[in-house]
Structure 1
Amino acid sequence: MKNIFSSIDWKKTGLFAAGVAFGTAGIKVLSSDDAKKVYTNCTAAVLRAKDCVMKTATTIQENAEDIYAEAVQINEDRAAEEDAKVEESLDEEVSADEEGAE
């Protein structure tokens, strides 16, 4: 019988027993009313942070849409100016050709 106890690694057995005890106590602590209050408060904080992030994302998206719309307008204005210059130069060429033909 003495040989059986001498072959047991008491350090590992003690660590296992401590783990079981802490695990059992941990489950009770994690399921207590105080722990539930902490979980609830943490969840509420996460939801508030989510709202803040969503507001910021919406603001950024709106600003990006405004910037895009202004950029499109600038390009349309430039295209209209270039078309007007081309038409003006064509009109000058046509009037020069008409004066030369007379």
Structure 2
Amino acid sequence: MLDCFKMKKIGIFAGGVLFGTAGVKILASKDAKKFYVNCLAAGLRAKDCVMTTATSIQENADDILAEAKEINRQRADEAFEDESEEMVSETAEEVEETAAE
């Protein structure tokens, strides 16, 4: 019984060695290398596509940021003009009141 158990372990070990050796041979074959090269080429094409898209998105974001800053600058200028007009009208009213007294 013990002998059968040892033989089973030895058989599993030998099968693993054989499978590993065959696997190394398959992975090192010309067909496998061709497959690796094609996969890597596809990965590089995908990377180029992603980088092109990312660059486009970044340029659009820069344009949007510039437009938003311009809108805020225009609003600030308008608010300053409104405050200036209010100050001028208040000053004119004060001068009129002082002249009336």
Query: What's the counterpart of residue 50 of structure 2?
Result: 53
Greater shift, 8-17 or 54-63, is seen at: 8-17
Within 2, Cα distance between the matches of 1:65 and 1:90?
A: 37
Within 2, Cα distance between the matches of 1:69 and 1:11?
A: 74
Aligned residue among 82, 85, 94 for 1:85: 82
Letter in 1 for 2:13: F
1:17 aligns with 2:14: yes
1:63 aligns with 2:68: no
1:42 aligns with 2:34: no
Letter in 1 for 2:74: D
Deviation at 1:63, TM superposition (A): 1.1
4+ aligned runs moved over 3 Å, structure 1:
none
Counting matched residue pairs gives 99
Within 2, Cα distance between the matches of 1:85 and 1:56?
A: 44
Deviation at 1:66, TM superposition (A): 1.1
1:32 aligns with 2:29: yes
Letter in 1 for 2:60: N
Within 1, Cα distance between the matches of 2:3 and 2:19?
A: 26
- For residues 21-40 of structure 1, give each alpha carbon's deviation from its aligned partner in whole angstroms, at most 9, with x where no partner exists: 01111111111111110000
TM-score (norm 1): 0.89
TM-score (norm 2): 0.90
**Unaligned ranges ≥5, structure 1:** none
Within 2, Cα distance between the matches of 1:14 and 1:72?
A: 75
Greater shift, 7-16 or 83-92, is seen at: 7-16
Deviation at 1:64, TM superposition (A): 1.0
Within 2, Cα distance between the matches of 1:86 and 1:25?
A: 85
Deviation at 1:7, TM superposition (A): 6.4
